[in-house]
Amino acid sequence: MKIGFWFLVMIVCSPWAMGAVQDTLQPQKREFLRDKTIVPVPVVFRLPETGFGAGAVVASTFSFARDSVGAKPSQLSFGVTYTQKKQILVFLPFTIFYDNNRYYFSGDNGWYKYNYFYYGIGEDRIEQEIFDVQYPRVRLLASRLVAPNTYLGLRYQYEGYNVTGTRPGGELASGRIEGSDFSRTSGLGLSILRDTRDIVFYPRRGIFAEAYVLPTSRIFGADRNFTRYYLDLSHYKSLHKKVVLATNYVASATVGDRVPFSQLSFLGGQKKMRGVYEGFFRDKNALIGQAEARWEVWRFIGLVGFGAVGVMGDEKDIIRLNKPKYTYGVGLRVTAQKKNHLNIRIDYGMSPYGHGNLYATIGEAF
C-alpha cells in the first residue's frame, strides 16, 4: 500500500467502541426534529502531498417531526482537518428530505487550502506535478416532487479555484493549461432526479438517478463560458436477505473552449473508480460503470467487493472505447447508526496505474 494514503480512521468510533449518540427523549408536540442521531468520527491520515493530518467529522441523521414515520431520513455532516503542511479542509455535505419527501435538497460545500497531484490531460501521462490551491466550493440542489418518485429542480455550482503554487518548469507552470492560475466557475441549470430506493443510506432495491445540464456563464458571475452534461444512475438489487448487488453508471461531458482543468471529467477518487488517484485521468468526457457486492456478515459488520471500468474522450474522439481503465478492491463496513443503516466505510482499491489506495469515510460510495 502506498504510504501516502489513508491508514487509520474510524475503528475507534464504531458502535462497540464509542457508540452513536441517540436522542432518547420522547417526541414533544412542538419538536422540530425527531430520530436524531449524532456520529462523531476522529480522522487520522498520512498522504505524500500533505504529511500527517488529523481532524474530525460529525455526521447527523434526523427526520422532521411533522413528517410521517415512513418519510425518508436526512443527513448532515461537518468536518475539519488540518495537516502537517498547514493545509485546511472544511466541508459541509448534506441531503435533506422535507414535507414527507415532497422536497429534496442536497449540497456539497466547503473551503479548502490544499494541494493535489496533476498527471496531464487525455491519454498521455506526464511526470507527477504537485500544485497548491485555495478555493471555496458550493454545490446545491433544490428540487420538488413532480411525479411519483420523480423530482425536478435547480442545481447551482460555484468554485473560485486559485492555484497558488506549481512545480517550476512543469506543465501547469507553463500557462498552457486552462485554469492553471485561476478560474471562477458559476453555473445554474436544470436537474431531474428519480428515487425509488427502499432505504436512503443502505438501499436493498430501487434506483437513484440524477441528470442535469449545468451552463457556467459570465451571466452567473463566472469568468468563462462552458456547459456540463451529467448523468449518475445507481441501481440496487437484493440477491439474498444479507447480500445486495449495487451498480452505478456515470456519463459526464464538458462542452466549451475554455474549460479549466479542475472542471474536466475525471476518473478516480473515493466514489468513482476507487483504486486510482482522483484526477489521475481527466478529459472532456467520461463514462464509468462500477459494481459492488455488499454482504452483511454479522450484526454491525459487513464486507464488500467492488470493481469499475471507465473510458475518456474529447472533441475529436468523443469516447475512446479501445482504451479502458479499470479498478477493483474490497472493503469493510461498520454500522454506526442501526435504524437507518448508516455505515462507516473503509475501502482498499487497486489498479494497474499505481499503488493501492485506502479510503475511509461515512456512507456508501453510491
Question: Beta strands 33-47 and 74-83: pairing type?
Answer: unpaired
Q: Which residues of the chain have pLDDT under 50?
A: 1-25
Neighbouring C-alpha atoms within 13 Å toward the C-beta of 87:
25
What's the pLDDT at 8? 40
Give me 243's grid cell. Answer: 447480500
What's the pLDDT at 109? 97
What's the pLDDT at 44? 81
Closest by alpha carbon to 180, among 189, 172, 190? Answer: 172
Closest by alpha carbon to 133, among 260, 283, 5? Answer: 260
**DSSP annotation of 27:** P
Phi and psi at 327, nearest 5°, equal -140, 165
Q: At which residue does the C-alpha cell 438517478 appear?
A: 209
Interval 330-342: pLDDT, tens: 999 999 888 889 9
Q: What is the pTM of this model?
A: 0.88
Phi and psi at 10, nearest 5°, equal 80, -25
